[in-house]
Amino acid sequence: MAQIPFAPDVFTWPAEKPQLIGSRCRSCAAVTFPAQDSCPRCGKLEMEQRLLPREGTLWTWTTQEFLPKEPYASGETPETFKPFAVGLVQLGDDVRVEGRLTISKADEIRFGMGLELVIYPFRTDEDGTQVMSYAFAPSEGGN
Amino acid sequence: MEDVAIIGVGIHPFGRFGNKSAIQMGAEAVRSALADAGLEWKQVQFAFGGSCEVDNPDAVVGLLGLTGIPFMDVYNGCATAATALELTADAIRYGKYDIGLAVGMDKHAFGAFTADPVHYSAPPWYGDIGHFLTTKFFGMKINRYMHDHGISHRTLARVAAKNYRNGVLNPNAFRRKALTEDEILTSQMLNFPLTKYMFCSPDEGAAAIILCRADIARQYTSNPIYLRASTLRTRTYGAHEVHSSWAAVEHAEAPTVFASKAAYETAGIGPEDVDVIQVQDTDSGAEIMHMAENGFCADGDQEKLLAEGATEIGGRLPVNTDGGLIANGEPVGASGLRQIHELVLQLRGQAGDRQVPGNPRVGYAQLYGAPGTAGVSIVTT
- Give DSSP secondary structure letters for B222-245: SS-EEEEEEEEEE--TT---TT-S
Condensed to tens digits (0 to 9), the pLDDT of residues B130-178 reads 999 999 999 999 999 999 999 999 999 999 999 999 999 999 999 999 9
Spell out the SS3 assignment of chain A: CCEEECCCCCECCCCCCCCEEEEEECCCCCEECCCCCCCCCCCCCCEEEEECCCEEEEEEEEEECCCCCCCCCCCCCCCCCCCEEEEEEEECCCEEEEEEECCCCHHHCCCCEEEEEEEEEEEECCCCCEEEEEEEEEEEEEC
Q: Find the CB nearest B245 among A30, A33, A106.
A: A33
Q: Which residues contact B118 (CB under 8 A, 6 or more apart)?
A: B124
Asked whether B25 and B105 are in contact (CB, 8 A), the reply is yes
**What is the nearest CA distance from A16 to chain B, expressed in angstroms?**
23
Q: How far apart are CA B196 and CA B161, in angstroms?
A: 12
Quote the pLDDT of residue B110: 84
Q: Could you tell me if B116 lies within 8 Å of chain A, comparing CB atoms? A: yes
Q: How confident is the model over A95-108, as pLDDT tens digits?
A: 999 999 999 999 99
**Cβ-nearest to A62 among B116, B139, B244:** B139
Determine the Cα–Cα distance for residues B146 and A26; give it in Å rounded to an integer.
36
For position B116, what pLDDT does the model report?
Answer: 83
Q: What beta strand segments (E) does B38-124 contain?
A: 46-50, 71-74, 99-107
Report which residue type is found at B213.
R
B186-223 pLDDT, tens digit per residue, is 999 999 999 999 999 999 999 999 999 999 999 999 99
Tens digit of each residue's pLDDT (9 = 90 or more) over B43-92: 999 999 999 999 999 999 999 999 999 999 999 988 999 999 999 999 99
Report in angstroms the alpha-carbon separations of B381 from B33, B95, B132, B224, B304.
18, 22, 42, 7, 30
Residue A1 has pLDDT above 80, yes or no: no
Rg (CA), chain A: 16
Chain B residues with CB inside 8 Å of A70's CB?
Answer: 114, 127
Angle at A95 between CA A92 and CA A100, to 5 degrees: 95
CA distances from B187 to A62, B195, B282, B290, B325 (A): 17, 6, 17, 24, 18
Report chain A residues whose CB lies below 8 A from the CB of B188.
65
Check CB contact under 8 Å for A60 and B130: no
Cα(B350)–Cα(B276) distance, integer angstroms: 14
Does residue B112 register a pLDDT over 80?
Answer: no
Q: What is the pTM of this model?
A: 0.96
- Best of A98, A101, A123, A132 to mutate (most B CBs within 10 Å, chain B): A98
From chain B, the residues in CB contact with A100 under 8 A are 129-130
Per-residue pLDDT at B118: 85
Q: Do B130 and A95 touch (CB under 8 A)?
A: no
Say if B117 is an interface residue toward chain A (CB within 8 Å).
yes
Q: Answer whether A59 sits within 8 Å of B133, measured CB to CB.
A: no
ipTM, two decimals, is: 0.96
Give the pLDDT score at A9: 93
User: Is the Cβ–Cβ distance between B244 and B330 less than 8 Å?
Assistant: no
Helical segments of B128-254, H only: 134-149, 153-168, 181-186
Contact between residue B80 and residue B104 where contact means Cβ atoms under 8 Å apart:
yes
Please tell me the distance in Å from A88's CA to the nearest CA on chain B: 7
Residue A143 has pLDDT above 80, yes or no: no
User: Are B123 and A34 within 8 A, CB to CB?
Assistant: yes
For residues A42-70, give the mean pLDDT.
97
Q: What is the mean pLDDT of the segment spanning B92-110?
A: 96
Q: How far apart are CA B151 and CA B289, in angstroms?
A: 10
- Average pLDDT on A104-122 reads 97
Q: Place A134 in a pLDDT band, splitting at 50, 70 and 90.
A: very high
Best probe of the A interface among B128, B132, B141, B241, by most A CBs < 10 A, is B128
Residue B321 near residue B358, CB atoms below 8 Å: no
In angstroms, what separates the C-alpha of B362 from chain A's closest C-alpha? 36
- Mean pLDDT throughout B97-114? 91
Mean pLDDT of chain A: 96
Give residue A22's region: left, alpha or beta (phi > 0; psi -120 to 50). beta
* pLDDT over threshold 90, residue B231: yes
The 3-state DSSP class for residue B10 equals strand
Please judge whether A6 and B125 are an interchain contact, meaning their C-beta atoms are less than 8 angstroms apart. Answer: yes
CB contact under 8 A, A72 and B128: yes
Containing B284, the helix (H) or strand (E) segment is helix B284-293
CA distance linking residue B102 with residue B6, whole number of Å:
11
Q: Average pLDDT of chain B?
A: 96
Residue B102 has pLDDT above 90, yes or no: yes
Q: How far apart are CA B79 and CA B64, in angstroms?
A: 25
Q: What's the per-residue H, E or C state across B29-48?
A: HHHHHHHHHCCCHHHCCEEE
Q: Do A98 and B245 touch (CB under 8 A)?
A: yes
* Average pLDDT of span B254-280: 98
Q: Nearest-CA residue of chain B relative to A107?
A: B192
> Which residue from A minimizes the CA distance to B117?
A71
From B112, B128, B249, residue closest to A71, measured CB to CB: B128
Residues paired with B102 in a beta bridge: B48, B209
- B216 and B223 Cβ atoms separated by less than 8 Å: no
- Rounded distance between C-alpha atoms, residue B343 and residue B360, angstroms: 9
CA distance B195 to B330: 18
In chain A, what percentage of residues exceed pLDDT 90? 95
Q: pLDDT by residue (tens digit) across B324-357?
A: 999 999 999 999 999 999 999 999 999 999 999 9
Cis geometry, peptide bond prior to residue A5 (ω within 30 degrees of 0): no
Contact across the interface for B192 and A65, Cβ inside 8 Å: yes
- Asked if the C-beta of B149 comes within 8 angstroms of chain A's C-beta atoms, the answer is no
Query: Percent of chain A having pLDDT more than 70?
Result: 100
Chain A positions with Cβ closer than 8 Å to B: 6-7, 10, 22, 30-34, 40-41, 59-66, 68-74, 84-88, 90, 93-98, 100, 106, 111, 122, 133
